[in-house]
Structure 1
């Protein structure tokens, strides 16, 4: 795929009702996003060969947030812990394990609050200080942006 084909695909995506589009052939990837109004990389391309049809979101991505996840519009107190990178947020260390933290839990400085997966690397997000979790502002497997508020600690 050459740059002209990528530009045409980007134009088609821009005109479509899709919010996100991603393609990966193992060594090369291409992704577009219209979410959050933040400037997202338009494309990261290195010799892609073909473009696959968009994949429907997994059931866990469309599921309602758990009770532990508070509304983004709530007025919870405390200091917000923000995302240091773009990636997928995981609130559990594994699907069959319990959450790292829940609202009301007391945490110690350095304790893992959640994990953000970026480029197949699991990045633990530690508590910046001792305190109590007053709000969890992301749902399991949410795609988070750099600087997005994740958890509030009082």
Structure 2
């Protein structure tokens, strides 16, 4: 499946009343869902290229206006961010926690695979920029470590 076909499917899904859609063809598998957190509901037209940058710019400007210091840990992929290993578990990290390099900060689920996002360095968490079960884009700030 080529990129234009994927974009076409995304546009059709976005304009439909469907809440979830999955497609599998040989080695290709796509899963679209509109069942996300409040922030994603506001950004539900995200598959349209013009809307996505505006939403990201607002998020980034909000983060830059905050007083928190430190290096930004960005999402290496698109998926759903989880701040804890399960609904009844405590968060991996909280603001003010001291973390060691390699310690899990967040898990991002993509294509039903749980990807642990490790701390790139030792430090203190100064800001958590995502909500639990929030849909994140590539490059979105997740955590700030000083």
Q: Using structure 2 for the length normalisation, give the TM-score.
A: 0.66
What is the RMSD of the two structures over their aligned residues, measured on CA atoms? 3.3
Mark the CA change 1:145 to 1:13 in structure 2 (over 3 Å): closer, same or farther: closer
Give the Cα–Cα distance (whole angstroms) in 2 for the partners of residues 94 and 150 of structure 1. Answer: 18
Q: Decide which structure has greater helix share.
A: 2
Alignment of 1:37 onto 2:38? no
Give the Cα–Cα distance (whole angstroms) in 1 for the partners of residues 12 and 104 of structure 2. Answer: 41
- Kindly report which structure 2 residues correspond to 1:2-151, keeping only aligned pairs within 5 A, or say none: 10=11, 13-14=14-15, 22-24=20-22, 29=30, 31=32, 34-35=45-46, 37-38=52-53, 72=63, 73-151=65-143
Structure 1 stretches of 4+ with a deviation exceeding 3 A read 6-14, 25-33
Structure 2 unmatched runs, 5+: 1-6, 34-43, 54-61
Deviation at 1:128, TM superposition (A): 0.3
Deviation at 1:37, TM superposition (A): 1.6
CA contact (8 A) 2:14 2:45 kept: no
Q: Using structure 1 for the length normalisation, give the TM-score.
A: 0.62
Aligned residues: 116
